[in-house]
Amino acid sequence: MFKKLLSITLAALMVLSLAVVFTGCGSENNSVAGSSSSGAKDSLKFGFIYLHDENSTYDNNFLTAAKEACEKMGVEMINKTNIDESDACKEAALDLVDQGCDIIFADSFGHEDFMIEAAKANPDVQFLHATGTKAHTEKLANFHNAFASIYEGRYLAGIAAGMKINEMIEAGKITKDEAKMGYVGAHPYAEVKSGYTSFYLGAKSVCPTVTMEVKFTGSWYDETLEKEAANKLIADGCVLISQHADSMGAPTACEAAGVPNVSYNGSTVKACPNTFIVSSKINWAPYFEYAINCVKEGKAIDADWTGTVATGSVQLTEVNEKAAAKGTQEAIDAAKADLESGKIKVFDTANFTAKGATLDSYMADVDSDPEFKGDTEVIKDGVFEESKYRSAPYFDIDIDGISVIE
Amino acid sequence: MNKTKTHEPLFHIAKRDSLPVYKSWAIRGMAILAALIVAGVITMLLTGENPIQVYATMFKGAFGTSRRIWSLLQSLAMLLCVALAVTPAFKMRFWNIGAEGQVLIGGLATAACMITLGNKMPNALLILVMIAASMAAAAIWALIPAFFKAKFNTNETLFTLMMNYVAIQLVSYFEKLWENPKGSSNIGIINQSTHAGWLPTIGKFDYLLNIIVVLALAVFMYIYLKYSKHGYELTVVGESENTARYIGLNVKKVIMRTMILSGAICGIAGLLLVGGTNHTITTTTAGGRGFTAIMVSWLAKFNPIIMILTAFLITFLQAGAGEISTVFGLNESFSDIITGIIIFFIIGCEFFINYKLHFRSSHKEVK
């Protein structure tokens, strides 16, 4: 036994000594990189942290945008994929700091607290976080949230959905009262509610009798559950499906059932050539370029940055002529122009009611705290001002015409 | 009798007497070398990357900076802790594949204390409550299948496996209950501003406490299995239940007692993960350690000290794998392939340590 112990101790010593040698080399390299980059601020390093890898439509959207922005701006990029929403995120961020990154970005909602911890420890590095809610209350100079007014994109996609339903009514396939859409949602969270409400309002703007059923899966990514939810909605008599979840579950269920689908995160036309109508998505490249420019010029990055149609952050894919109603593209283009000029407001209180009444005041839960109490008046001049007081959506009103099923 | 012509196969396999230590370790060393060569060739064929560079990157990913070494030691400690937990059960031939769920339940109990009792009592007392709650909760979680095994001889493999899914569902239920903001099913860092219920850090080393606790556990487990009466009893039950009964052991009691110990240590792993590292809980907090730990324990033949080495090997491969995907832009699946090859060779070489191949020799037939 003694021999065994001795051999183990020796082995451990060897490993440790090797480790020490390699650490020496590692830190040397880092210090060299650090000294050269501190001299000239035009050679930047941008570190990215992703929850999954390119197999998730959500993360793939970020990966593509990161590559596009860094190549365009001539910035070195380091990607860390499959980083859990745990201490691993903080470790990954700190490791990117060690590698000399000037900007570090994380893409998943649950990464936020760990990014804040890393930001507190490294005031000279800029930390960016998508979909988070805490930058405006944490008030750290180097921690920033970002999102996009994707509700505008969903509204436009909703118009395509409404026109498809109008086409079905005109063709006599369904009656006006049977105009019901289905929506597969991840969690009953403001981001999802804001999304499906704007989608519904878009459809309603062209088809006034339309109603919508929502089913939640309780997960951001679960292909089986999303497929089942879509099938349940179809069985309930929904004649068109849209979704806010990250797998191909709902689109492929629609293709199998021959039910038209309005997608998210990017085009699913390859897998669903007969049912895909159009998809809205956020393009993150403009935000990354904005952040890179800020750091290059030594300017402060906004605590909350909201991309819009005008910044190129909110995009719609090409309309699939095979599935869409005639004139869809033209209608989308017209509404898009009206959104940009301010002629249409998605959450105009004249367009929706809650419990039968039109709202003239609403206190939204903009600041994250355990009480979930409304803290900010968000209705002004008859419009619910979404994404104004922070970048992440906070519209969470249950409006008439939309019902949630179990 | 020699004269009857029997067909002798090309080779036959015979069990070896135990090999001297240096020989068996030489075989293991050769296996790792062979694994590295095969993995290298496959790397070159599939990706066109230089395998030496790939290995150097793995090494740098694990040891490149002092932060990475600390991070590696932390992951090693966490994996080792779960491996130590499953060891007494496996030594007793009780196939506890429910460590994943036991760790989660321990973590859930820790999180529950931090959320409901945080800032309501002195921190030292809160931590004591957390320790007691996490160990008790996980021990009970492990005792349930042990009780059914002892009383009704149910299949513990299926039972413990299914308990994992119950634990995961419980955690996702509480994620919903404690979510912030509303509807997000996300708990976030618990008591981020007050640090209530956070295990203390030693100096400026975030992970040192975890590492020391697990090292102490390893020593404890070594002594427990090797020199204690309990350790002896569970070994006998593992070797032969009938023998155990014959020499007057209360087999049911040994099974339940051992699983309580196994569960309690899983509870400590949950405590360290939630209270000492992540300060939050999600369904992925256990992160598959409950299953990887079984391999760590088996590879070390249930010797807690050797387990430090096997756990090191696996965490090294994992840490290196992450760096490969960052530097070479290869998908994480590729590093899984390399890890798979290396582990395959290591497990395979145990065959050559236990058995000998005798090849047919012409010289024998003449006789």
Residues across chain A: 406
A368 touches chain B (CB under 8 A): yes
Which tokens hold the place of B220? 């404890």
Please indicate, yes or no, if residue A370 is contained in any of the structural domains: no
Buried/exposed A341-353: b ≥16 CB within 10 Å, e otherwise = eeebbbbebebbe
Which of A31-40, A324-333, B52-61, B322-331 is predicted with the least confidence, judged by mean pLDDT?
Answer: A31-40
Which tokens hold the place of B364? 């024998």
Q: Give A-chain residues touching B64 at CB under 8 angstroms.
A: 22-23, 26
A365 touches chain B (CB under 8 A): yes
Q: Give A-chain residues touching B282 at CB under 8 angstroms.
A: 84-86, 110
Contact A85 B312 (CB under 8 A): no
Residue bearing the bigger pLDDT, B11 or A118 = A118
pLDDT in tens, A224-239: 999 999 999 999 999 9
Contact A18 B186 (CB under 8 A): no
Q: What is the C-alpha separation between B169 and B107, in angstroms, rounded?
A: 14
pLDDT in tens, B156-193: 999 999 999 999 999 999 999 999 888 888 999 999 99
CA A124, A126, A128 angle in degrees (round to 5)?
160
Q: What is the C-alpha separation between B175 and B281, in angstroms, rounded?
A: 8
Nearest one of B183, B191, B214 to B113, comparing CA atoms: B191
Which tokens hold the place of A64? 């593509």
Contact B181 A368 (CB under 8 A): yes
The three-state (H, E, C) secondary structure of B36-55, written as one string = HHHHHHHHHHHHCCCHHHHH
- Spatial neighbors of A192 by CB under 8 A, at least 6 apart, are A185, A186, A216, A244, B183
Q: Which amino acid is at A274?
A: N
Write the CATH number for A195: 3.40.50.2300
Helical (H) or strand (E) element with A151: helix A150-170
Contact B282 A86 (CB under 8 A): yes
Mutation test of the interface with chain B: which of A87, A216, A371, choosing the one with the most B Cβ atoms within 10 A?
A87
HSE of A270, CA atoms in CB hemisphere, 13 A: 3
**Positive/negative CA dihedral, B313, B319, B320, B321:** positive
Find where tokens 């191909």 sit.
Answer: A248
Q: Give B-chain residues touching A56 at CB under 8 angstroms.
A: none
Maximum CA extent, chain A = 88
Q: At residue A197, does pLDDT exceed 50?
A: yes
Question: What share of chain A has pLDDT > 90, as a percent?
Answer: 81
- B360 CA: distance to closest CA in chain A (Å): 36
Please indicate, yes or no, if residue A102 is contained in any of the structural domains: no
Q: What is the C-alpha separation between A49 and B185, in angstroms, rounded?
A: 21
Contact B296, B314 (CB under 8 A): yes
Q: What is the pLDDT of residue A54?
A: 85
Instruction: Give B87's pLDDT tier (boundaries 50, 70, 90).
Output: very high
Alpha helix stretches (DSSP H) within chain B: 21-47, 51-63, 66-91, 99-117, 123-152, 156-177, 208-227, 229-239, 241-246, 251-271, 289-299, 304-328, 332-354, 362-366
Helical (H) or strand (E) element with A46: strand A45-49
Contact A365 B59 (CB under 8 A): no
Number of structural domains (chain A) is 1
pTM to 2 decimal places: 0.88
Q: Which letter does DSSP use for residue A401 in this model?
A: T
Q: What is the C-alpha separation between A292 and A286, in angstroms, rounded?
A: 10
Q: How many CB atoms lie within 10 A of CB A355?
A: 9
Residue bearing the bigger pLDDT, A357 or A29 = A357
A179 touches chain B (CB under 8 A): no
Virtual torsion, Cα A179, A180, A181, A183, nearest 10 deg: 170
Domain ranges of chain B: 76-298
Instruction: Give A351's pLDDT tier (boundaries 50, 70, 90).
Output: very high
- B184 CA: distance to closest CA in chain A (Å): 5
Buried/exposed B19-47: b ≥16 CB within 10 Å, e otherwise = eeeeebeeebeebeeebbeebbeebeeee
- Spatial neighbors of B119 by CB under 8 A, at least 6 apart, are B191, B194, B196
Buried/exposed A6-39: b ≥16 CB within 10 Å, e otherwise = eeeeeeeeeeeeebeebbeebeeeeeebeeebee
Please indicate, yes or no, if residue A178 is contained in any of the structural domains: yes
Q: What is the C-alpha separation between A324 and A337, in angstroms, rounded?
A: 20
DSSP A298-311: TPPPPSEEEE-TTT
Q: Which amino acid is at B87?
A: T
B22 strand-pairing partners: none
Distance of CA A262 to the CA centre of its chain: 16
A117 touches chain B (CB under 8 A): yes
The mean per-residue pLDDT over the stretch A323-340 comes to 95
pLDDT in tens, A371-392: 788 899 999 999 999 999 999 9
Contact B320, B62 (CB under 8 A): yes
The mean per-residue pLDDT over the stretch B146-159 comes to 95
The mean per-residue pLDDT over the stretch A109-121 comes to 96
Q: What is the pLDDT of residue B325?
A: 85
Q: What is the pLDDT of residue B338?
A: 86
Q: Looking at chain A from residue 199 to 238, which residues have their Cβ under 8 Å from any Cβ of chain B?
A: 218
Q: How many CB atoms lie within 10 A of CB B49?
A: 17
Buried/exposed B303-329: b ≥16 CB within 10 Å, e otherwise = bbbbbbbbbbbbbbbbbbbbbbbbbbe
Maximum CA extent, chain B = 89
Q: What is the C-alpha separation between A361 and A350, in angstroms, rounded?
A: 13
Q: What is the pLDDT of residue A34?
A: 36
